[in-house]
Amino acid sequence: MKGRVAVVTGGARGIGLALTRALAAAGAKVVVSGRNQAALEEACAGIVASGGEAVAVAGDVSVEADADRLCERTLEAFGKAEILINNAGVTRDGLLLRMSDKDWDEVLDTNLKGAFHCTRAFARPMVRQRWGRVVNITSVIGLMGNAGQANYAASKAGLIGLTKAVAKELASRHITVNAVAPGFIDTAMTEALGEKARDALMERIPLGRLGKPEDVAHAVLFLCSEEAGYVTGQVLTVDGGMVM
């Protein structure tokens, strides 16, 4: 990754933070994007303290102008944009019969439209340089569904369709587009489940443990590498075997 320029949306916490750290450790210059300026600056400070290069760009990817500005700031800072990780995501869980239009729209706008906005913006410099890597962070929920998450499941399933369509469009320019579908990863979100719910999850995971954010980062690093140059349009599940 040395010398590559990578952009991670939702890159200041959880899986996103693990992604930014892994890319920086591999030698990439990292642009960290998200809504919380303080969290972004903290993430970048950690990378710089470890000898890496990182820039924080605050914004909301569901807003077209913010996604375009993210691309512009990346080009201003590093002169190119080679790797895009669409990781930004939100949840607004609730049963279908009680789900409001607002909760539906917020999840689809961030998780799916946000990835569309960013991919469209960053595809332009990638096409010009005839090289690029796009990795969309979807979810096993997009593959199997989950009660109480109709909006989230739809957004993550939509990301898979977006991945495959754009992979076909950009392949002739040596740009690969893939998706990583994490299972249940040990983050603040799963910590809030409680011991009983976590034990029930373990019974569904053949490897017998929750994933770590670093497990997802390793998969993403591979898909961003030169070695993955013949891999495109794929969905790699990182779930301990839960949905195999």
Amino acid present at 238: V
For residues 18 and 42, is the Cβ–Cβ distance under 8 A?
no
What letter does residue 225 receive in the DSSP assignment?
S
Looking only at the bridges linking them, the beta strands covering 54-58 and 83-86 are unpaired
Q: Three-state SS string across 143-161, please?
A: HHCCCCEHHHHHHHHHHHH
- The b/e string for 47-68 (b: 16+ C-beta within 10 A; e otherwise) is beeeebbbbbbbbbbbeeebbb
3-state secondary structure of 195: helix
Q: 16: which residues sit within 8 A by CB, 6+ positions away?
A: 8, 9, 10, 32, 34, 85, 87, 88
The Cβ of residue 228 has, within 10 Å, a number of other Cβ atoms equal to: 17
The catalytic position among 152, 183, 219, 238 is: 152
For residues 140 and 183, is the Cβ–Cβ distance under 8 A?
yes
230 catalytic? Reply is no
Give the residue numbers annotated as catalytic, written as ranges.
152
